[in-house]
A = this chain, B = another copy of it.
Amino acid sequence: METLQKVLNKHLNLEVEEWLCFKGCLKEEVCKATTILVKENTIASKIYYIKSGLLRTFYFQEGKEITTYFACDHQFITPYASFIRQTPSLERLETIEESQLYSLSYSHLNNLYAQYPTFEKLGKILAEMNYLCLLNRSLSMQTKSAKEKYLDFMQSYDPKIIQRAPQYQIASFLGMAPESLSRIRKEIIIS
């Protein structure tokens, strides 16, 4: 819980009372690998802070899984559009490996916003982060070569994601075939 307090205080400078109230809203959850936390067509009612572990959001397109977001230790994740609008999710949220999580429900978060406006800043940071991730991914899809995309990914994402997420999931996140990703990785190791 201390690390989460540090993560928040990097941006929020919470009073003791605010932190205690936030902490009181969290629920600890331990999930095995490939646990579905939000199923497509259901509403994402919680956002998750990852104490340790690895998760992703993805959707199905013509039977194929398209990964849209990865998150690991000390990051937040939820099918974001569903969570902020409280509408059915197009995406599934799943653990990639066993994960220790703190969940915060939509209603608790909104109570926090109402009680302590300083938490609006957390909401703003989460929204900006999701915006920039989506923008980078969509610009990268449109303008970059497969190799450039992978090099960008290596620079921008936590090494844990690169090392532990299955190749086919990273490939779909980067909009390329698993074979192309495998070829690019070999090229990079040789050069």
**Interface of A with B (CB < 8 Å)?**
61, 80-81, 84-85, 90, 113, 117-118, 120-121, 123-124, 127-128, 130-132, 134-135, 138-139, 142-143
Instruction: Verify B132–A81 contact, CB threshold 8 A.
Output: yes
Assembly CA distance A124 to B80 (angstroms): 13
Assembly CA distance A45 to B157 (angstroms): 28
Measured between beta carbons, the chain B residues less than 8 angstroms from A135 are 81, 134
User: A9 to nearest B CB, angstroms?
Assistant: 15
Assembly CA distance A118 to B130 (angstroms): 21
Assembly CA distance A124 to B109 (angstroms): 13
Question: In the complex this chain forms, how many copies of it are found?
Answer: 2
Q: A113-B121, A127-B127 are in contact. Are A138 and B132 (CB under 8 A)?
A: no
Instruction: Verify A80–B131 contact, CB threshold 8 A.
Output: yes
22 contacting pairs across A/B (C-beta < 8 A): A61-B143, A81-B131, A81-B132, A81-B135, A84-B131, A85-B132, A90-B139, A117-B117, A117-B118, A117-B120, A117-B121, A118-B120, A120-B120, A120-B124, A124-B124, A124-B127, A127-B127, A127-B131, A131-B131, A131-B134, A134-B134, A134-B135
Assembly CA distance A50 to B117 (angstroms): 27
Closest 4 CB pairs of A and B: A127-B127, A120-B120, A124-B124, A117-B117
Measured between beta carbons, the chain B residues less than 8 angstroms from A123 are 120-121, 124
Instruction: Verify A134–B128 contact, CB threshold 8 A.
Output: no
Measured between beta carbons, the chain B residues less than 8 angstroms from A118 are 117, 120
